[in-house]
Amino acid sequence: METAQKLPIVTYLTQIIFHLTLNQEDIDDAAIWQGTVGSGQVRRLGELMTKRTERVAAMMDLLAAAGFEFEVKKNVVYATSDQVEAFEAKQRLLEAGFKDREFQILLEYTRGWGML
Amino acid sequence: MAGTQTTGTQVQPPKTSLPFMKKEDTWAMIIALLLIAGITITYFTGGFQFFKAMAVKVPSWSNDFSKVSASFSKNPMGIITLFGFFLLCFSAAAKVMGYNVKKFAASFFVLCLISVFITVAGSNKFLKAYQLETPILALVFGMIVGNFAKLPSWFEEGLRTEFYVKTGIVLMGATLPFTTIMSAGPLAMLQAGIVASVTFFTIYFAATKLFGLDPRFGATLGAGGSICGVSGSIAVGGACRAEKEHVSMAISLVVVWAVIMIMILPVVAHNIGLEPGVAGAWIGTSEFADAAGFAAAEQYNALANLPAGDDRAVKAFTLMKVVGRDMFVGLWALLAAILSVTLWEKKSISQSERVDYGEVWRRFPKFVIGFFAASIFTTLVIASIDPKLGSAYSKDALGVVKTFRGWTFTWTFLCIGFTTRFRALAAAGWKPFMAFTIGVIVNVPLGYYLSTVVFAEYWMGIK
């Protein structure tokens, strides 16, 4: 018989969000639109976007190895796990050389049965 | 998502959240608001007798049980209809929320039966003389059974403390005029804000500076001890990415202290002769969880032997806890989220991970909307009719709502007892325990001082 004593006090879901599109600040940092607008700037933007998607794919590979599952909605990739804690996932990403601003973490705790 | 710092693609609502219709908050609001609407409509158009008959009250009795049996035999269908009605409502909600409906219904039925016995016992003058009123009896009975007997799993399915208390809180909203909320709200927010801030930072600094605990853990402990108990720890723990073990420990401490406070606060408040409004405000700043706080406020009501309908302590408690504290959990969560990715990780805003400002709404306790909606609805009803009819509506229709609220709270108190398994709570360790306890030592006297001295005049005048 399953009893409350065996149930956890909390459960959690770690979600890591990757935007496949560029942030305005990335575009600004790269100073793409300075000077006269031309095809070279658009190519430069394309390179930035390719770089971004490559980085996201690399982060996904890393998280997939840790058991994360993925969903995508409107150019946003959601990596979800109920086995890897948020701090662990972040640690892995940073240790692999990714930067804080390349991802966003949401951590949702749910109270276990019987908690006030 | 609105408010997300990112400027690229719109982020969809996080899939970490349960769908709207799968949440207890949603169903607590639906059930309570429909009930209030049903009572109101039938009051003015006919059919109110159905609800009135369901509003079963147990009379006080001493040696002669015939008073109780006469009350039940006078309206034999009342208690059956009452439980049948809530059984249907809660079971329908349970089905949508994905609970095992058969087990839930069986469990709720048993819970109802126990609640009758507890209410009858709690109405006994002999037991009352020993301060064994219904809230404490329900709690103690539940704790004895829950901690010393192995409950069947089907019974555990219906022990949904949060579901019942949230339903009760929305029902409570109907009996609290919106004008009172508007006038007391800012004061309650101020008092609660002072106590919550002082307590939060006391626990946080005790945890991090005195005991060297991780700042995320400190914030999670602080939120549990100051903002809104388990919900606070969960919201802030999630927002600042605290470890699961740390959140579990914080919750354990909240539960243990909440139960201790149910036993202590009403007795002290009563024995030192606090006015009901002042007592309710003090309990509102010093209790850690909504359900536990309602137990304490109702227990005070019973100890003070207030006449039926005198809800001052419960009203003051609700204003302080729900309006003053619960509503702000989202803001605290956002603060913790920002601190966690900047200060605690020693990074500037431009280097740090992006924080989602949607935290404020995502962590907001949605049942509070139902509480306000209920209050606005009944206030508008009363304001739009003849004053004489308005007072009759307040007395009769809202009297029925109060009785239903009383039953939902009794189920809540029983559930607190049945589900508080002390051996199942995580071993918190002495450092977190001490940090939390230092917070309690600051919180309780500060809440007392603000309630009895600084804001006493207002709380004494609450009606």
pLDDT digits (tens, 9 = 90+) for B5-47: 333 333 444 455 678 889 999 999 999 999 999 999 999 999 9
CB contact under 8 A, A9 and B243: no
8 Å CB contact between B318 and B166: no
Q: Which of residues 54-83 of A touch B (CB under 8 A)?
A: 71, 73-76, 78, 80
CB contact under 8 A, A114 and B161: yes
* Model pLDDT for residues B302-336, shown as the tens digit of each residue: 899 888 778 899 999 999 999 999 999 999 999 99
Q: For an interface test with A, give the residue of B1, B4, B5, B9 to mutate (most A CBs within 10 A).
A: B9
Q: Left if phi > 0, otherwise alpha if psi is -120 to 50, otherwise beta: which for B45? A: alpha
Q: What is the pLDDT of residue B5?
A: 32
Say yes or no to pLDDT of A73 above 70: yes
Tell me how close the Cα of A14 comes to any Cα of chain B, in angstroms. Answer: 8
* Domain boundaries along the sequence of chain A: 4-111
Q: What is the pLDDT of residue A115?
A: 79
Contacts of A106 in chain B (CB under 8 A): 14, 16, 238, 356
- Stretch B108-114: mean pLDDT: 97
SS (H, E, C) A43-111: HHHHHHHHHHHHHHHHHHHHHHHCCCEEEEECCEEEEEECCCCHHHHHHHHHHCCCCHHHCEEEEEEEE
CB contact under 8 A, A101 and B234: no
* Chain B CB within 8 Å of residue A20 CB: yes
Which token pair is A6?
């065996």
A10 strand-pairing partners: A111
Contacts of B354 in chain A (CB under 8 A): 101, 104
| A76-81/A104-111 β-pairing | unpaired
Quote the CA–CA distance of B341 and B330 in Å, as a whole number.
Answer: 17
8 Å CB contact between B281 and B300: no
Nearest C-alpha in B relative to A21:
B8
Helix or strand holding residue A10 (H, E) = strand A10-19
Quote the CA–CA distance of A54 and A102 in Å, as a whole number.
Answer: 12
Nearest to A87 among B241, B254, B352 (CB): B241
Tell me how close the Cα of B223 comes to any Cα of chain A, in angstroms. Answer: 14
Q: What are phi and psi of B150, to 5 degrees?
A: -95, 110
- Stretch B85-100: mean pLDDT: 97
Which strands, in side-by-side order, build the sheet including A76-81?
A69-73, A76-81, A10-19, A104-111
Domain over A4-111 is classified CATH 3.30.70: yes
Say yes or no to pLDDT of B192 above 60: yes
Of A2 and A76, more confident? A76
| Burial of B172 per CB tally in 10 Å (0-12, 13-18, 19+) | buried
Which token pair is B228?
């809104």
A 10 A CB-CB count for B371 gives 28
Average pLDDT over chain B, rounded to an integer:
92
B285 strand-pairing partners: none
Which token pair is B124?
């006994």
Contacts of A28 in chain B (CB under 8 A): none
Tell me how close the Cα of B86 comes to any Cα of chain A, in angstroms. Answer: 20
CB contact under 8 A, B255 and A15: no
Of B160 and A35, more confident? B160
Q: How far is CA B269 from CA B313, B325, B439, in A?
A: 11, 21, 20
Nearest to B7 among A20, A23, A107 (CB): A23
Nearest to A87 among B243, B248, B351 (CB): B243
Who's near A25: CB < 8 A, 6+ residues apart?
B7
CB contact under 8 A, A21 and B8: yes
Say yes or no to pLDDT of B238 above 80: yes
- Stretch B356-371: mean pLDDT: 93
CB contact under 8 A, B10 and A74: yes
CB contact under 8 A, B12 and A73: yes
| Burial of A69 per CB tally in 10 Å (0-12, 13-18, 19+) | exposed
Q: How far is CA B106 from CA A70, B109, B157, B179, B212, in A?
A: 39, 5, 9, 41, 48
Residue A5 half-sphere exposure toward CB, CA atoms < 13 A: 11
Nearest to A13 among B16, B415, B418 (CB): B16
A 10 A CB-CB count for A67 gives 10
Quote the CA–CA distance of B215 and B146 in Å, as a whole number.
Answer: 35
Handedness of CA B36, B42, B45, B49 (dihedral sign): negative
Q: What percent of chain B has pLDDT over 90?
A: 84
- Stretch B232-248: mean pLDDT: 96
Contacts of A104 in chain B (CB under 8 A): 4, 6, 11, 353-354, 356
Please, which pLDDT band fits residue B266 given cuts at 50, 70 and 90? very high
Say yes or no to pLDDT of B390 above 90: yes
A 10 A CB-CB count for B182 gives 12
Nearest to A5 among B11, B231, B423 (CB): B423
* Chain B CB within 8 Å of residue A29 CB: no
CB contact under 8 A, A114 and B426: no
Nearest alpha-carbon partner for B228 in B161, B361, B141, B326: B326
A11 strand-pairing partners: A110
Helix or strand holding residue B136 (H, E) = helix B134-148
ipTM field: 0.89
A 10 A CB-CB count for B450 gives 21
* Domain boundaries along the sequence of chain B: 20-460
- Stretch B280-296: mean pLDDT: 95
Quote the CA–CA distance of B255 and B422 in Å, as a whole number.
Answer: 9
